[in-house]
Amino acid sequence: MVLIRTDLKKITSLQRWMDSSNHLHYAYQPIVNIHTGLTLGFEALLRGYNEAGFKSINDVFNSAYEETVLYSLDLHLRELAIKNFYQKKEFSDLKLFYNLDNRVLEMPDYLSGNTEKFLKANGMHSTNICFEISEKHEFANYQNTHRILRDYKDQNYRIAIDDFGSGYSGLTLLYHSEPDFIKIDRFFIENINDDSRKKFFVANVVNLAHMMGISVIAEGIETIGEFYVCREIGCDYIQGYLIQRPESNPGKLLLRYPLVEELVNSQSRKTDGDKNLIKREMKEVPSVSEKVSTEEILERFRKGQGTQCCFPVVNTSYEPLGLLRESDLKKYVYSPYGISILQHQSATNGIESLIFRAPVMEIYNPIEKILELYSLNEDLDGVIITENGKYRGILDSSAILRILSEKKISIAQDQNPLTKLPGNTSINNYLSGIIREEVGFHICVYFDFDNFKPFNDTYGFRQGDRIIRLFADILLEHRIVRKNFTGHIGGDDFFIGYSGRSNNREDILLEIKSIIDQFEADVLPFYTKEHREQGYITAQNRHGGDAKFPLLSVSAAVICIISSVGEHSIDKLTETIASLKQKAKNSKDHMAFLDI
């Protein structure tokens, strides 16, 4: 009788929930490629909870969990999200990101296989669905969770960790879930362009994810500044108000968002050269299906005759799952019963257990990101290269080393040979980046020696070169204390760039003044005692007559850029610098400051 009453109570509760759920509906927000604007898929976001009598989305699921109807409610919502979204036939190749409350896995009535029925009814496949697992609720049993998530992956569903970095589980969930995507929590994305600690954290998460063959989605992008930083540090996809707010009408959703392409093209520093270099060096190794048989794989390696050490494995959407490596198969091939074991394993579980999750990178990334990935593990067989998430080829270790050598030559060519500081190309790239930001805070300092020609004429160019190296060393000392970009424009012209609101304007001005003072003090030993005592040297002026020139000093033209896209250009900046330099030379403290 107790069981009957309990069942009736649950049926009554479930009916009440189904009635309430009639008010619930979904809005969809795009997740797009950060390099091209092509849409990867859309996240389904629950709406209408107020009309259903709840204060928030969390309130809906917390209440359902307490009444143990969470799984039944979730199935109803899954069907609703899938049915509404795939009404638009153009979305048949896109992914639907569905938030799975991990407490569903604890429900006593949980069963697998129901989602597949909804997909078949709408003519879709399991590769279209990506379940988002949040860190917000602690997992009660990791072994059970891992088993269920493994079951989802075996059915070819994709897995994403949502709100990464904000919840209970962190790296533990990453370890157990083996996800296809990581979604960086909005907290770490907000104002990342002005927060070096956030940038450092996200950059390291991106590197870790790519090493594990996981793609990274930056959540909650709202500003152009956030977009540029997330692209710079290697995020693969973005989602947020900058692209589009959640939209209930699927007809207003796009397959490509032109804004991304416009932002990428608006940067004067192009990465086409890097893309062409990657395409030139990568090998277009034929891929194999995740359904490939053991016999076919062994035959492919035999035909390769030692020239082919691995094969990329892709799913039905041509997304890379990892590599099948010859080295992993050898332990079976060379053992007495290895082939039989391998065939049995393949027959029961497929080849999934043999797939190595190799690092994956988009072809649009700057080559430095791939080199950085390789530097973390020089034993890599290779890096899988994708284009808009689809497999394109492999960069093996020898190709990466060739690229590294070429990049070193390129960097050396831009370095000033006297000071070894970055030259004009690097300085222009730095400036191009900061003047394209929607909102930012940057201070650019242009240093120019005062009375350098008379010094050279009197003491010779060898001593002049020593003075230039002396000033470069002073700048490098200050770069160690406060992180900044330091470059050598040429001759006696130098550049420093400070970025981020953590840099206080008054502190930077004091630092610049200390650089000027230090140079004037350190340069004195280069003069004779007579010149030091009299405080000047006599040399020819531009008209050919003798004139008195004060001892060496340096002037600083200081420009504060509070960026706004479209308002600044390098040409305009150059004009501003020219007039500001003269003001600095004429001022008592050798400094001139301007906000633009």
Q: Is residue 350 part of a domain?
A: yes
For residue 272, name the pLDDT band (cuts at 50, 70, 90).
low
E strand or H helix that includes residue 391: strand 390-396
Q: Is residue 274 part of a domain?
A: no
What number of CA atoms fall less than 13 Å from residue 492's CA on the CB side? 20
The answer on pLDDT for 357 being more than 90 is no
User: Each residue of 561-586: pLDDT tens digit?
Assistant: 875 545 566 777 777 888 898 899 88
CATH of the domain at 83: 3.20.20.450
Domain count, the chain: 3
End-to-end CA distance of the chain: give it in Å, rounded. Answer: 79
Quick one: 252 and 232 in the same domain? yes
Burial of 553 (0-12, 13-18, 19+ CB in 10 A): middle
CATH of the domain at 446: 3.30.70.270
For residue 378, name the pLDDT band (cuts at 50, 70, 90).
low
Quick one: 196 and 305 in the same domain? no
Quick one: 96 and 180 in the same domain? yes
Q: 266 in helix, strand or coil?
A: helix
Range of the domain at 54: 2-267
C-alpha span between 381 and 365 (Å, rounded): 20
Out of 131-135, 204-208, 331-335, least confident range: 331-335
Token pair listed for 587: 């001022």
Predicted model pTM: 0.70
Q: Classify each residue of 395-423 as buried b or exposed e, where b means 16 or more C-beta atoms within 10 Å of its C-beta.
A: bbeebbeebeeeeeeeeeeebbeebebbb
Q: Is residue 273 part of a domain?
A: no
pLDDT for res 563: 58
Quick one: 262 and 220 in the same domain? yes
Quick one: 43 and 111 in the same domain? yes
pLDDT for res 528: 93
Among residues 238, 267, 296, which one ends one of the domains?
267
User: Each residue of 184-236: pLDDT tens digit?
Assistant: 999 999 988 878 788 888 998 998 899 888 999 999 999 988 998 899 889 99
User: Each residue of 399-433: pLDDT tens digit?
Assistant: 888 887 777 776 667 788 888 888 888 888 788 77
pLDDT for res 135: 62
Q: Is residue 50 part of a domain?
A: yes
Are 437 and 229 in contact, with CB atoms under 8 Å apart?
no
User: Each residue of 60-119: pLDDT tens digit?
Assistant: 888 888 888 888 888 888 888 888 887 777 888 899 999 988 788 778 887 777 788 888
Quick one: 237 and 328 in the same domain? no
Token pair listed for 106: 């604890």
CATH of the domain at 283: 3.10.580.10
Quick one: 480 and 381 in the same domain? no
Measure Cα distances from 376 to 204, 322, 573 in Å. Answer: 11, 18, 38
Q: Is residue 358 part of a domain?
A: yes
Quick one: 291 and 240 in the same domain? no
Among residues 245, 267, 289, which one ends one of the domains?
267
The answer on pLDDT for 25 being more than 80 is yes
Beta strands 536-540 and 546-550: pairing type? antiparallel
Token pair listed for 238: 């973005």
Quick one: 381 and 466 in the same domain? no
Rg of the chain, C-alpha, whole Å: 31
Q: Is residue 237 part of a domain?
A: yes
Angle, nearest 10°, between helix axes 338-349 and 326-333? 120
Q: Is residue 49 part of a domain?
A: yes
Quick one: 343 and 399 in the same domain? yes
C-alpha span between 486 and 162 (Å, rounded): 38
User: Each residue of 290-318: pLDDT tens digit?
Assistant: 888 777 877 777 776 556 778 899 988 89
Average pLDDT, the chain: 82
pLDDT for res 268: 46
Quick one: 121 and 244 in the same domain? yes
Q: 544 in helix, strand or coil?
A: coil
Angle, nearest 10°, between helix axes 397-414 and 424-434? 100
Considering only CA atoms, which of 386, 391, 423 is closest in space to residue 275?
A: 386
pLDDT for res 93: 85
What number of CA atoms fall less than 13 Å from residue 159's CA on the CB side? 25
Quick one: 393 and 246 in the same domain? no
What number of CA atoms fall less than 13 Å from residue 251's CA on the CB side? 1
C-alpha span between 192 and 195 (Å, rounded): 5
Among residues 239, 267, 295, which one ends one of the domains?
267
Measure Cα distances from 19 to 13, 50, 82, 106 in Å. Answer: 10, 14, 20, 24
